[in-house]
Chains A and B, each alone.
Chain A
Amino acid sequence: MSKIISVHSFRGGTGKSNTTANVATLLAMEGLRVGVIDTDIQSPGIHVLFGLSEEEMRYSLNDYLWGKCEIQETAHDVTSHLGQGVAGQVLVIPKGQVYLIPSSIKVGEIARVLREGYDVGLLNDGFHELVEKLDLDVLMIDTHPGLNEETLLSISISDALIVVMRPDQQDYQGTGVTVEVARKLDVPKMFIVVNKTPSILDFDDVAAKAQQTYNCEVAAVLPHSDEMMTLASNGVFVARYPDHPITNKLRSLARRLIE
């Protein structure tokens, strides 16, 4: 079973954070203890999906990287947030747990990373400590797009990597770079998820093309979704729409990861 799973894409906006949050939630619904860490220090966002406000963030990943706290102090149990929906809607609260380790959204904190940098080795220590201290079944790593130090480290220590892309020429070229890096770093398992696929495309063709181009398993081809757009990052999709066709496809992906 995969312990550490990274979610990456070369270009931004493919749906990394949404995919990470959804898969983590589905794994928790299966009864697992799941950690989600936002290593997108340059432009954090996944805390929004879990409804964690700036005021609720006691400590962030930034605080850990600058030695202000222990890594487990940055972990926020957001399991109950998954049940907070719009009025009257009954939501599924997972049997397991979801812990979120957010990056700071404060301008000063983000600028400090640029100014002073930090020891990437600490990030590695933090990942392993989290798994141990929180007794996690799975740690999911949400990354910043493109190639950077956090991403290289995350990919290199992962048991499985999910590469998210859209059926777009910019993404096709860029995904080639990510796949090449992942192969050089010997990631044990790699899956491609094609996201935001326009409905006019033939999904089987899209899957076949990606499979052939990268010689890598395409775990899901997901359609562009109006419901996802309407949700506009105000929550985790699979908790709101537990029986939606997209949720079912994501559930297959989640199960594939922990086989």
Chain B
Amino acid sequence: MANIVSIHSFRGGTGKSNLSANVAVQLALKGYRVGVIDTDIQSPGLHVLFGMTDATMQKSLNDYLWGRATIHDAAYPVNQVVGADSERAFLRDVKLWLIPSSIRTSEIARVLREGYDVNLLNDGFNDLISTLELDFLVIDTHPGMNEETLLSVAISNMLIILLRPDQQDFQGSAVTLDVARKLDVPNVRLVLNKVPTRFDSETLKKDVAATYNAPVIAALMLSEDVAAAGSNNIFSAVYPDHEWSKTIRVITDEIVTTLVGTQGEAAPL
């Protein structure tokens, strides 16, 4: 049975899409069958990390939500998407599917004008999981509270709340946690991101865990290398020995340990 992992933050720019893409790839590199879906319909970005553009995206989540396509038409096996791209050779043998949202202005505006049935999103998640025989479905969300987020959070086996050590994030994360508790989400975990390097990460993790009464599984340090890479690729796969990448693998291991129970290197087939 597949596990659904939602990645959320109250404020934007905490690094949700980067974390979603990196965790999905690391899970896939362990041999798991993984789907990663962009429910940030208002401001999609996940596809960029996989090198997709409007030109290479025929169908998107939007097409499915408006009945113009099945969810499978919008699910791209990334090993085929990246094709001969030598910078993404690490994706050639993975069983990973990307479901992007449309970056076309007219498509985004249509969501505003016409809306769509949120239940379809739930059906789509389930369809993907059963047909693609997924071990994990990773959901990248839009910041703040909105219908897609509430649905994603409500059906998750694990919710990762991402926050920076910043007063706006501290206040906002309390709102997300409050909602997650009301929705009885199992396995709520906090991840700190963009932590200035002069901070002591262990002390910060302890303080934040105590404040929110929720486990903090990792602190990703602010890295000029990650910023300079500018969402061009999956950082943890390109630079596996970088400290930031090691922390991504700590998060991935925590997901596997919590939801699967073992830390096996190969797929549980």
Q: Which residues of A contact B (CB under 8 A)?
A: 10-15, 17, 40, 42-43, 45-46, 48-49, 105, 107, 110-111, 114, 144-149, 152, 166-171, 173-174, 177, 180-181, 196, 198-201, 224, 226, 229-230, 232-234
- Please tell me the number of chain B residues within 8 Å of chain A, measured between CB atoms: 48
Q: How many A-B residue pairs have CB under 8 A?
A: 134
Tell whether, in the assembled complex, residue B230 and residue A168 are in contact, meaning their CB atoms are under 8 Å apart.
yes
Tell whether, in the assembled complex, residue A12 and residue B230 are in contact, meaning their CB atoms are under 8 Å apart.
no
Identity of the chain A residue whose Cβ is nearest the Cβ of B175 in the assembled complex: A107
Shortest Cβ distance from residue A188 to the other chain B in the assembled complex, whole angstroms: 20
- Complex Cα distance, B54 from A43, in Å, reads 28
- Kindly state whether residue B112 has any CB partner on chain A within 8 Å: yes
- Complex Cα distance, B143 from A173, in Å, reads 18
Shortest Cβ distance from residue A116 to the other chain B in the assembled complex, whole angstroms: 13
- Kindly state whether residue B26 has any CB partner on chain A within 8 Å: no
Shortest Cβ distance from residue B109 to the other chain A in the assembled complex, whole angstroms: 6
Shortest Cβ distance from residue A36 to the other chain B in the assembled complex, whole angstroms: 15
Shortest Cβ distance from residue A120 to the other chain B in the assembled complex, whole angstroms: 10
Tell whether, in the assembled complex, residue A170 and residue B14 are in contact, meaning their CB atoms are under 8 Å apart.
no
Tell whether, in the assembled complex, residue B166 and residue A11 are in contact, meaning their CB atoms are under 8 Å apart.
no
Tell whether, in the assembled complex, residue A40 and residue B144 are in contact, meaning their CB atoms are under 8 Å apart.
yes
- Write the B188-209 contact mask toward A (1 if CB under 8 angstroms, else 0): 0000001010000000000000
- Write the B142-175 contact mask toward A (1 if CB under 8 angstroms, else 0): 1111110010000000000000111111011001
- Kindly state whether residue B121 has any CB partner on chain A within 8 Å: no
Ranked nearest first, the 4 interchain pairs of A and B with the lowest CB-CB distance are: A13-B13, A12-B12, A146-B43, A43-B144
A12-B43, A114-B150, A145-B143 known; A198 vs B227 contact (CB < 8 Å): yes
Shortest Cβ distance from residue A7 to the other chain B in the assembled complex, whole angstroms: 13
A107-B178, A170-B231, A173-B48 known; A43 vs B172 contact (CB < 8 Å): yes
Q: Which residues of B contact A (CB under 8 A)?
A: 10-15, 17, 40, 42-45, 48-49, 53-54, 103, 105, 108-109, 112, 142-147, 150, 164-169, 171-172, 175, 178-179, 194, 196, 222, 224, 227-228, 230-232
Shortest Cβ distance from residue B99 to the other chain A in the assembled complex, whole angstroms: 17
Tell whether, in the assembled complex, residue A200 and residue B166 are in contact, meaning their CB atoms are under 8 Å apart.
no
Tell whether, in the assembled complex, residue A13 and residue B105 are in contact, meaning their CB atoms are under 8 Å apart.
no
- Complex Cα distance, B110 from A148, in Å, reads 10
Tell whether, in the assembled complex, residue B48 and residue A170 are in contact, meaning their CB atoms are under 8 Å apart.
yes
Please give, as numbers and ranges, the residues of chain A lying within 8 Å of B48 by CB-CB distance.
Answer: 169-170, 173
Please give, as numbers and ranges, the residues of chain B lying within 8 Å of A233 by CB-CB distance.
Answer: 166-169
Tell whether, in the assembled complex, residue A105 and residue B171 are in contact, meaning their CB atoms are under 8 Å apart.
yes
Shortest Cβ distance from residue A57 to the other chain B in the assembled complex, whole angstroms: 12
Please give, as numbers and ranges, the residues of chain B lying within 8 Å of A166 by CB-CB distance.
Answer: 227, 230
A147-B112, A230-B196 known; A111 vs B145 contact (CB < 8 Å): yes
Tell whether, in the assembled complex, residue B228 and residue A234 are in contact, meaning their CB atoms are under 8 Å apart.
no
